[in-house]
Amino acid sequence: MEWFWPEGFYTLLMIGVFAFAAFVWDMPIAVAMAMAAITGAIAAGEGVPLRHQVEGEFGYVDTILIIATAMVFMKVIQRTGLLESIAAWVIRKFRGYPVLLSLGIMFIIMVPGMITGSSTAAVLTTGALVAPVMMELGVPMLQTAAAISMGALFGMIAPPISIPAMIIGAGVDIPYVGFGMPLLICTVPLAVICSLWLIYPYVRKPRDEASLEAQLAKMSRVPMSLRLFLTVIVLVVLLGGERTLPLYWPSLGMPLSFLLASASGLLSGVRWNPIETVTEAIDEALPVMGILMGVGMFIQIMTLTGVRGFVVVSALALPSWTLYLGIAISMPLFGAVSSFGSASVLGVPFLMALLGQNEIVVASALSLVASLGDLMPPTALAGIFAAQVVGEKNYFKVLRHCMLPALLTVCWGIAVILMAKPIAKLIF
Amino acid sequence: MRSSRGTALTAAALCVAVALICFVSARSFLAMRLPDPVAPAQGFERYNLSHWFPALKGSPGDSDVYIQDSGVPGGTVFIMGGTHPNEPSGYMAAVVYLERAKVTKGRLIVMPFANATAMGHNSPQEASPQYFSLDVDGGTRWFRYGSRATNPVYQWPAPDIYIHAQSGQKLDGGSKSNLNRAYPGVPDDSLTQQVAYGIIQLLNKEKVDLAFDLHEASPEYPVVNAIVAHNRAMELAAMVSMELEMAGIPMRLEPSPVNFRGLSHREWGDHSDALAILMETGNPSQGRLRGKTDAALAVTGKDKAYLKAAALGRLFIPYEGDQTLDLRTARHVTSMKMFMDMLGDVKEGGDVEVEGIPSFDDMMERGIGAFLSPVEDDRFDGK
Ligand SMILES: [Zn+2]
């Protein structure tokens, strides 16, 4: 009881106010988060700490800019017709090879996450590209969104860039070196299984050729040309340049790269209205940006009032065999706040609790488990955007289809931690 | 989710509310950029880092550096605090030397707030206090509690990955704003890299014999209550560590890891003739396990979450409910004094003698505030 009072009470109070405001009063998630944060601060005798609320929001400035600009980019490639044209081409070309097609689609979804370390980037770029392909091939809408979400998570964790792994490593002063193989071990088996599970069964079914051909003709009404591809080429050059020649390439940052790529869409030869497109993009990204600001405020107040320490130390207090259970449950749950937050707040103490295994392998596995935070409401960045990409209003429906793959991911993450020593022997 | 479209009136009302929030919070944020006044002891002369690296002149990273020359030939010692301004015992130990030292042989250089812009803001979501205060004779002294990183206002955005220029080592992008990953620095890169470059210039041009970088670490971090020494400084550090052990102030001795680049204890030693030493004390207010976060935590280190973590065997310091700033600062101050007393034994002609530094027991008994001077501080008029 001495441990529980008062921080445990604040924890329940903040969660309770959030749930009540969001689900009973039907407030937007962002507002509900802010209300929970303010209530927690008042209960803890901090009044309404304006400075803390604003400061907490600033934790996500960069993420918010990436989301806004990536959304603009997605809308542009939609408007120019590039998305549908590519989809039609891929279907015509690879329909005869369903296994290859399933694995290929999964890999394409992962690529932007692998090079940017952001699941949002993956969902809103190649995720948006393959969504029409998958649906046209017969993958149901929700399975499509689920496959895109999972692919984006695996891409975020897969090498060369895994920001959660970097964050966990930085917390215990391990440089980001030697993570390539462990991260591949964490992600590749899962990506293969998910593509064969979520995509392949639908892709291999035969389809009514005539109606498909009509559909494909409609999709490819804008002829594929180099000019049409300009947006993607500019993006690949800008993001890829920084990754491959980091010492010589100017670091523009992802937001500016997305904006420049979007602007190049004006030269694509297809007419589209920039103001309308950007307005629509921001309008659709706004709720998520709001949620992130609410979450930032929420974390700062959690830290201020001692709720964060209560949660972390309670997780660490679990007896050793339940420690793994603690990792499996608390890291994805805390990811509700953000997967990067989970990596930093919980990943680092868990890694310290597991010192003596191979730290690089364990950190890689912990980052895999942390990535699931991007499926955890209310933030659920990967789920929300995947739902948007396929045109589903209720992202909870998408998350339901991610449950089993997510469970598998947790189990694999824990398995890798348990096998850290033999794995390390094998690869180092 | 309900989607309710507002009217022009609600939009205007929201804009006014946002402007008000921005105005009030911006005042609080901007106030933190005002420097902490200090009262250097007699004999110190003030310089800026740009004295050794002119490109920093007028930049927000142009941190103050104080030099006291005894006029008697001897060695040169450099004391640096404030690499990470969320680690207060580091800069408080430097301030105690700055305000109390009377150098009788050799020279003493003190740079209390190394990463000047990091002093002027807090890291989001850490809920750090902006200031803490100490009672001194005849008043109260206020010090800022800053951030681990350079202020992003001057170095933004972070790259996706930070590549250490000299080694090609990759770290998370945020580490580019970490002064203790930036050495030996780059003259024409971001502010943090320039400040690091300036410090290396200082070490070389002033022919520093012994250099300290003062830190704190979270109690759950393995390198805490520790001395990390460059391999050239190992002999001296081992002597000091033994001496400290006998004095009942144990500080673990750790060799500077050879494969981890950009850190002061390695690059200072590799890029100058100084014996490079980094020291860490245990600071609950920066740890990931801490509970309620406020100025009191920074000063007392009292925390129930850490007490529980200690019972769980998760900590690398003995923790019995508190870890005061007095204790943490006294550890740094006393360890540095021992280093200086023995410097002449390992470096011929390197003797540096400093008087006026309070003993460990004095600081524990009377608090470090008793060894600071009162200052004019117009930041807190009427507070
Ligand atoms: Zn430090």
Domain ranges of chain B: 8-380
Residue type, A176: Y
- Which residues, 6 or more positions from A426, have their beta carbon under 8 angstroms from its beta carbon? none
Q: Contact B306/B319 with Cβ under 8 angstroms?
A: yes
Dihedral sign, CA of B14, B16, B22, B24? negative
Is the confidence at residue B327, as pLDDT, over 70? yes
Q: Which of residues 205-224 of B touch A (CB under 8 A)?
A: 220-223
Is the confidence at residue B2, as pLDDT, over 60? no
Instruction: Write down the pLDDT at residue A202.
Output: 92
Tokens of B60: 């927000």
Whole-number Cα distances in Å, B145 to A17, B91, B128, B158: 32, 10, 7, 22
Q: Contact A301/A96 with Cβ under 8 angstroms?
A: no
Kindly state whether A59 is in contact with chain B, defined as any CB-CB distance less than 8 angstroms.
Answer: yes
Q: Distance, in angstroms, between A301 CA and closest chain B CA?
A: 7
Report, as an integer, the average pLDDT of A260-289: 89
Query: Rounded to whole angstroms, how far apart are CA atoms A415 and A186?
Result: 10
- Which residues, 6 or more positions from B364, have their beta carbon under 8 angstroms from its beta carbon? B326, B327, B330
Query: Rounded to whole angstroms, how far apart are CA atoms B312 and B319?
Result: 11
Report, as an integer, the average pLDDT of B200-222: 96
Residue type, A332: P
Dihedral sign, CA of A140, A146, A152, A157? negative
Provide the β-strand partners of residue B111: B80
pLDDT band at residue A34 using 50, 70 and 90 as cut-offs: very high
Tokens of B7: 């009217």
Whole-number Cα distances in Å, B227 to A162, A183, B345: 32, 34, 19
C-alpha B198 to ligand 1 mean position (Å): 19
**3-state percent breakdown (helix, strand, coil) of chain B, nearest 5:** 40, 20, 45
Query: Rounded to whole angstroms, how far apart are CA atoms A87 and A96?
Result: 15
The enclosing H or E element of B133 equals strand B131-136
Tell me which long-range contacts B317-325 makes (C-beta under 8 A, separation of at least 24): B317/B219, B317/B224, B317/B225, B317/B282, B319/B219, B319/B282, B319/B284, B323/B219, B323/B282, B323/B283, B323/B284, B324/B299, B324/B300, B325/B88, B325/B89, B325/B92, B325/B132, B325/B134, B325/B298, B325/B299, B325/B300, B325/B301, B325/B368
Beta carbon pairs, A and B, within 8 Å: 147
Contact A163 B29 (CB under 8 A): no
Contact A176 B2 (CB under 8 A): no
Collapsing DSSP to helix, strand or coil, A206 comes out as: coil
Is the confidence at residue B382, as pLDDT, over 50? no
User: Which chain B residue lies closest to A345 (C-alpha atoms)?
Assistant: B288
Kindly state whether B158 is in contact with chain A, defined as any CB-CB distance less than 8 angstroms.
Answer: yes
Instruction: Write down the pLDDT at residue B134.
Output: 96
Q: Contact B102/B65 with Cβ under 8 angstroms?
A: no
Q: Distance, in angstroms, between A260 CA and closest chain B CA?
A: 16
Is the confidence at residue A242, as pLDDT, over 80? no
Q: Distance, in angstroms, between B312 CA and closest chain A CA?
A: 7
Is the confidence at residue B1, as pLDDT, over 50? no
Instruction: Write down the pLDDT at residue B383.
Output: 52
Range of weakest confidence among A157-166, A202-211, A301-310, B107-116: A202-211
A51: Cα within 13 Å, side-chain hemisphere: 17
Q: Contact B111/B119 with Cβ under 8 angstroms?
A: no
Q: pLDDT, tens digit, for every residue of A167-221? A: 888 777 777 778 999 999 999 999 999 999 999 999 888 777 787 788 788 778 7
Q: A398: alpha, beta or left, given left = phi > 0 and alpha = psi -120 to 50?
A: alpha
- Which residues, 6 or more positions from B12, have their beta carbon under 8 angstroms from its beta carbon? none
Collapsing DSSP to helix, strand or coil, B35 comes out as: coil
Q: Which of B165, B169, B308 sits opposite A313 (nearest CB)?
A: B308
User: Which chain A residue lies closest to B174 (C-alpha atoms)?
Assistant: A167
Q: pLDDT, tens digit, for every residue of B54-102? A: 999 999 999 999 999 999 999 999 999 999 999 999 999 999 999 999 9
Q: Distance, in angstroms, between B1 CA and closest chain A CA?
A: 6
Residues lining ion ligand 1 (Cβ < 5 A) are B 84, 87, 215
Q: Which of B175, B291, B309 sits opposite A170 (nearest CB)?
A: B175
Vertex B210: Cα angle to B207 and B216 (nearest 5): 130
Q: B224: alpha, beta or left, given left = phi > 0 and alpha = psi -120 to 50?
A: beta
**CA-wise closest residue to B117 among B81, B153, B92:** B153
Dihedral sign, CA of B69, B72, B76, B79? negative
- Backbone φ and ψ for A26, nearest 5 degrees, come out as 65, 30
* Domain spans in chain A, listed from the N-terminal domain onward: 7-427
Kindly state whether A162 is in contact with chain B, defined as any CB-CB distance less than 8 angstroms.
Answer: no
- The torsion of the CA quartet B363, B365, B366, B368, rounded to 10 degrees, works out to 30
Contact B160 A304 (CB under 8 A): no
Q: pLDDT, tens digit, for every residue of A327-381? A: 999 999 988 877 887 888 889 888 988 877 899 999 999 999 999 999 998 888 8
Q: Round the average pLDDT of chain B to a whole number and report it.
A: 95
Q: Distance, in angstroms, between A199 CA and closest chain B CA?
A: 30
Kindly state whether A317 is in contact with chain B, defined as any CB-CB distance less than 8 angstroms.
Answer: yes
Q: B353: alpha, beta or left, given left = phi > 0 and alpha = psi -120 to 50?
A: beta
Contact B21 A54 (CB under 8 A): yes
Provide the β-strand partners of residue B229: B255, B277
**CA-wise closest residue to B280 among B263, B295, B296, B294:** B263
Q: What is the 3-state secondary structure (H, E, C) of B339-376?
A: HHHHHHHHCCCCCCEEECCCCHHHHHHHCHHHHCCCCC
Q: Find the farthest-apart pair of alpha carbons in chain B and give their distance in angstroms, rounded.
A: 79
Report, as an integer, the average pLDDT of A369-398: 92
Q: What percent of chain B has pLDDT over 90?
A: 88
Q: pLDDT, tens digit, for every residue of A100-138? A: 999 989 998 998 888 778 898 899 988 998 898 889 888
Query: Exposed, middle or buried, A235 (CB in 10 Å: 0-12/13-18/19+)?
Result: buried
Q: Contact B39/B373 with Cβ under 8 angstroms?
A: yes
Q: Which of B21, B288, B303 sits opposite A312 (nearest CB)?
A: B288
C-alpha B66 to ligand 1 mean position (Å): 22
CATH 2.60.120 for the B8-380 domain, yes or no: no
pLDDT band at residue B4 using 50, 70 and 90 as cut-offs: low
Q: Which of B25, B157, B161 sits opposite A62 (nearest CB)?
A: B157
Report, as an integer, the average pLDDT of A92-96: 84
Range of weakest confidence among A83-97, A171-185, B233-247: A83-97
Residue type, B159: P
Q: pLDDT, tens digit, for every residue of B30-48? A: 999 999 999 999 999 999 9
pLDDT band at residue A1 using 50, 70 and 90 as cut-offs: low
Query: Rounded to whole angstroms, how far apart are CA atoms B83 and B94?
Result: 11
* Residues of B in Cβ contact (< 8 Å) with A310: 291, 305
Is the confidence at residue B29, as pLDDT, over 80? yes
Q: pLDDT, tens digit, for every residue of B155-176? A: 998 887 889 999 988 888 889 9
Q: Which of B173, B260, B314 sits opposite A173 (nearest CB)?
A: B260
Is the confidence at residue A260, as pLDDT, over 80? yes
Q: Which of B25, B125, B289 sits opposite A313 (nearest CB)?
A: B289
Q: DSSP letters along B47-62, please?
A: EEGGGTSGGGTTSTT-
Kindly state whether A3 is in contact with chain B, defined as any CB-CB distance less than 8 angstroms.
Answer: yes
Q: What percent of chain B has pLDDT over 70?
A: 98
Query: Rounded to whole angstroms, how far apart are CA atoms A114 and A9?
Result: 40
Q: Distance, in angstroms, between B126 CA and closest chain A CA?
A: 6
Helix boundaries (H) for chain B: 8-31, 88-100, 191-205, 234-246, 264-271, 295-300, 304-311, 325-346, 360-366
Q: pLDDT, tens digit, for every residue of A42-66? A: 999 999 999 999 999 998 888 888 8
